Structure 1
Amino acid sequence: MHISVALRRNINRPVVFVRRIPWTASGQLKEHFAQFGHVRRCILHFDKTTGFHRGLGWVQFSSEEEVRNVLQQENHIIDGVKLQPS
């Protein structure tokens, strides 16, 4: 399983959109991306019925440079799942 990472902008704030996040990795998302810069916040979309996140999330950084650092890195791995920037 691969996790796609794509650059998004939200009111001029640098944000990375992450798909296919393993359901076991919600607590590790911020920790993983913090190695690339200051993570302002992480948002996961949860299913109201199951209580599990849907494998989609947003990671907001402080700068564009931090987002570029994420997108340039090729080996993003959380819980054994390789993330691939797109």
Structure 2
Amino acid sequence: MTLNIGLVILIAVLTLIIGLAAGFFLARNSMKSYLAKNPPISEEMMKSMMMSMGQKPSQKKLNQMMAQMKQQSEQAQKK
């Protein structure tokens, strides 16, 4: 009897640990892909931020800044 109860508890604990680890990595991977597809800062946000700092943003400058942010996020993902 005690062997069966101990085995059941061991299996339950191992299942819980494996489930938590798998859930963590699945959620992490899902969040990374979501942020890669939908960056947290858009061109409109960047434009309004630059205007609030007193700069008149040109489309060329916005494109450069967005490309730079994309490059930095790709480098961060490689690490």
Normalised by the size of structure 1, how large is the TM-score?
0.21
Higher strand fraction (1 or 2) = 1
Between structure 1 and structure 2, the one with the greater Rg is 2
Higher helix fraction (1 or 2) = 2
Say which structure, 1 or 2, has more relative contact order (CA 8 Å, 6+ apart).
Answer: 1
Normalised by the size of structure 2, how large is the TM-score?
0.22
